[in-house]
């Protein structure tokens, strides 16, 4: 039996492939922002033009469960992680920032949600 970790890793690779087929360019994957940031990991970072996109990938059995899994806490964690990433990579600080999600479902092509949430 394949572990959940391996399935999740495969899902992230499939999500990146789906985004690349839509014209997105990979910047980074599985970025750990480090201790003290309270942020954890960013699944994918891609770009399109001068827009840097931080992507959360969720593997679930239904689309609704995938969307529900991206909680406010999860969103804020990714926002903190993106801020830490931008501090370390000042080249992107003047770029437009966006937060997307990709939901992976069994035996289906990943669903890309553009602008899944915004910072208020």
Query: What gap in Å lies between CA 103 and CA 63, rounded to an integer?
Result: 7
Domain count, the chain: 1
Express each pLDDT in 5-63 by its tens digit. 566 678 899 999 999 999 999 999 988 876 665 667 899 999 999 999 999 999 898 88
Range of the domain at 14: 4-117
CB count within 10 Å of CB 20 equals 12
Express each pLDDT in 79-105 by its tens digit. 999 999 999 999 998 999 999 999 999
CATH number, residue 112: 3.40.1350.10
Here the tokens at position 61 are 């059995």
Q: Cβ neighbours of residue 80 under 8 Å, at least 6 residues apart? A: 33, 37, 38, 39
Total-model pTM? 0.89
What number of CA atoms fall less than 13 Å from residue 61's CA on the CB side?
0
Query: What gap in Å lies between CA 89 and CA 101, rounded to an integer?
Result: 22
């Amino acid at each position: 039996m394949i572990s959940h970790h391996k399935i999740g890793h495969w899902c992230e690779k499939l999500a990146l492939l789906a985004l690349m087929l839509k014209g997105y360019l990979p910047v980074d994957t599985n970025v750990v922002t480090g201790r003290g940031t309270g942020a954890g990991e960013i699944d994918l970072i891609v770009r399109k033009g001068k827009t840097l996109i931080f992507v959360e990938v969720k593997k679930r059995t239904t689309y609704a469960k995938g969307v529900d899994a991206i909680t406010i806490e999860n969103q804020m964690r990714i926002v903190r992680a993106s801020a830490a990433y931008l501090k370390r990579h000042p080249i992107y600080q003047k770029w437009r920032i966006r937060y997307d999600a990709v939901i992976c479902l069994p035996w289906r092509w990943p669903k890309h949600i553009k602008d899944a949430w915004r910072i208020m």
